[in-house]
Amino acid sequence: MTVNISDIKVLAFDVFGTVVDWHGSIAREVNAMGLGLDGHAFASAWRKGYVPAMDRVRKGELGWTKIDDLHRMILDTVLAKFQVTGLSPDAIAHLNKVWHRLDPWPDTVAGLQRLKSKFTICTLSNGNLSLLANMAKRAGLPWDLILSAEVFHHYKPDPQAYLGVGRVFDLPAAQTMLVAAHKEDLRAAAGNGMRTAFVTRPLEFGSGRTVDISRDAAFDFHATDFLDLASQLGC
Amino acid sequence: MTVNISDIKVLAFDVFGTVVDWHGSIAREVNAMGLGLDGHAFASAWRKGYVPAMDRVRKGELGWTKIDDLHRMILDTVLAKFQVTGLSPDAIAHLNKVWHRLDPWPDTVAGLQRLKSKFTICTLSNGNLSLLANMAKRAGLPWDLILSAEVFHHYKPDPQAYLGVGRVFDLPAAQTMLVAAHKEDLRAAAGNGMRTAFVTRPLEFGSGRTVDISRDAAFDFHATDFLDLASQLGC
């Protein structure tokens, strides 16, 4: 597949795992709570509920529900599973918003700054708008626009989410590119006409888990981080 | 009315006229086209079609239509009225996007930077998302989040637009404040529970037009520009 880089106008970024280190950030915060919990196991258990929860919305079993609320539903079950009792309602609400306080990968901010010099950069995340705005404010993520499933009322991998980027910017899908660390996300984007950049994040699930970071010819770019992607795109 | 500033979490800004100088920017660009047009009259005529066009959407006569497309419908009538012929389709499309290239008022960027240090700052504009994103990228407007009627599919002054700010941020409306140069916009915001800051922009319609910049006790703050507002809010 040949791509003319000058045809690409908008880079849309997956966020959880691609831009920020959800696993490490949550593990650190949970460990720091001093409850004797295994932060890594806790983060993994919480994330495990994520796709099934969105699927309930995607299938219509639940009306539109933003990620903050889905995270809370999952958190309540995880707290029960880990036999955590005695947290105040405020403490639980604060913990639920750890997703607003995720740390970027070391290359993220510098890479986005370079990419922003040539392209319009936006999010295309299942995270809700306030989550993404709070995260960006705290971490200094220089988005030109925050786009979210909340704008389209469709979670990825629903086609409406991917097609929404081109619709918002009045561009053919082929002039927009999804940047993501997840092959299934990229395959869905490509299936809806977007260009695709695979960025490997081998530590997304912590140091003990194997992640598929193999090159896949189906994607237009394969980069080891955002700085590498910026160089490949001529930024 | 007493306001506890520490209760206010989000400042939502009207954009056209409040943040950017639409009249001067359009007049300058139209004058620079060298067609012998009166840029000030042209800008005024274009803007005059704005509220009626949105009203057609608000009343359901037109399905959801973004401002870029409403601007284009109005532009076509204005070009005819000013007897402009011979512009290429590309030139008309480019002119239509002058709304993406509006210049900020002199105090805007410095004021927003100060306000951003204490509050979450977002747009609440009838402009579409790409228009607002392109404007922010060009002018260096440091929004934490770009919110638009396009997100809610409701134009101001529909209640859904004002209530949308609190819903997005999971806050009571009283913890959000509209900043605007237009009293009718502020009255609608207050009617939906928001706090209100009136910022006077006496030159919004050019130097020849009188603008109502009188103090109105119905609003929580009255400021001469964003720097004044920042000082009043303790930024």
Structure confidence by residue, pLDDT tens digits, A83-111: 999 899 999 999 999 999 999 999 999 99
**Are B133 and A151 in contact (CB < 8 Å)?**
no
Is B137–A120 a contact, with Cβ atoms under 8 angstroms apart?
A: yes
Render pLDDT for A189-228 as a digit per residue (tens, 0 to 9).
Answer: 999 999 999 999 999 999 888 899 999 999 999 999 999 9
C-alpha B161/C-alpha B155 separation (Å) is 6
Q: Which CATH class is domain B5-21+103-232?
A: alpha beta
Tokens of B57: 């959407």
Rounded Cα–Cα distance for residues B12 and B178 (Å): 5
What integer is the mean pLDDT of A41-49? Answer: 97
- Across A119-147, average pLDDT: 98
Tell me how far apart the alpha carbons of residues A199 and A187 are, in angstroms, rounded to a whole number: 13
Shortest Cα distance from B117 to chain A (angstroms)? 10
For the record, the structure tokens of A138 come out as 């705290």
CB distance A65 to A57 below 8 Å: yes
Mean pLDDT of A66-76: 98
Contact (Cβ atoms closer than 8 angstroms) between residue A43 and residue A26: yes
Q: How far apart are the first and last CA of chain B?
A: 21
The fold of the A5-21+102-232 domain, in CATH, is Rossmann fold (3.40.50)
Instruction: State the virtual CA torsion across B193, B198, B201, B202 in degrees, nearest 10.
Output: 120
ipTM of the complex: 0.96
Query: What gap in Å lies between CA A120 and CA A143, rounded to an integer?
Result: 8
Q: What pLDDT is recorded for position B122?
A: 98
Within 24-83 of B, beta carbons closer than 8 Å to A belong to: 68
The pLDDT score that the predictor gives to residue B209 is 86
Q: Give me chain A's average pLDDT, please.
A: 97
pLDDT at A207: 86
Top CATH class of A22-100 equals mainly alpha
Report domain extents, chain A. Answer: 5-21+102-232, 22-100
Q: Which of B128, B136, B170 sits opposite A130 (nearest CB)?
A: B170
Residues of B in contact with A68 (CB under 8 A): 170
As a whole number of angstroms, the distance between CA B92 and CA B72 comes to 9
pTM: 0.97
HEC sequence for chain A: CCCCHHHCCEEEECCECCCECHHHHHHHHHHHCCCCCCHHHHHHHHHHCHHHHHHHHHCCCCCCCCHHHHHHHHHHHHHHHCCCCCCCHHHHHHHHHHHHCCCECCCHHHHHHHHHCCCEEEEEECCCHHHHHHHHHHHCCCCCEEEEHHHHCCCCCCHHHHHHHHHHHCCCHHHEEEEECCHHHHHHHHHCCCEEEEECCCCCCCCCCCCCCCCCCCCCEEECCHHHHHHHCCC
Residues in chain B: 235
Quick one: which H or E segment has residue B102? Answer: none
Nearest residue on chain B to A132, alpha-carbon basis: B145
Task: Answer yes or no: do B129 and A136 touch at CB < 8 A.
Answer: no
Please compute, for residue A198, the number of CA atoms within 13 A of its CA located in the half-sphere on the CB side: 20
Instruction: Select from A68, A146, A168 the Cβ nearest to the Cβ of B145.
Output: A146
Contacts with B134 from chain A: Cβ below 8 Å: 120
Q: In the CATH scheme, what is the homologous superfamily, with its name and number, of domain B22-101?
A: Putative phosphatase; domain 2 (1.10.150.240)
Radius of gyration of chain A (CA): 18
Which H or E run includes B57? Answer: helix B50-58
User: What band does A1 get if pLDDT is binned at 50, 70 and 90?
Assistant: low
Chain B hits for A144, Cβ within 8 Å = 133, 136-137
Helix (H, G, I), strand (E, B) or coil at B210: coil
Mutate: best of A113, A115, A134, A168, partner B, most B CBs <10 A: A168
Contact list in B for residue A145 (CB cut-off 8 A) is 129-130, 132-133, 146
Residues of B in contact with A129 (CB under 8 A): 145, 147, 151, 168
B160 and A CB contact within 8 Å: no
Quote the pLDDT of residue B1: 52
E strand or H helix at B21, and its extent?
none
Two structure tokens written together for A206 = 């912590």
* Distance from the Cα of residue B36 to its chain's centroid: 28
Residue indicated by tokens 């006569």: B61
Q: What is the pLDDT along chain B (235 residues), one digit of tens a residue?
A: 579 999 999 999 999 999 999 999 999 999 999 999 999 999 999 999 999 999 999 999 999 999 999 999 999 999 999 999 989 999 999 999 999 999 999 999 999 999 999 999 999 999 999 999 999 999 999 999 999 999 999 999 999 999 999 999 999 999 999 999 999 999 999 999 999 999 999 999 998 888 999 999 999 999 999 999 999 999 9
Contact between chains at A129 and B136 (C-beta distance less than 8 A): no
- What is the count of residue pairs from A and B with beta carbons less than 8 Å apart? 45
DSSP, collapsed to helix, strand or coil, labels residue B173 as: helix
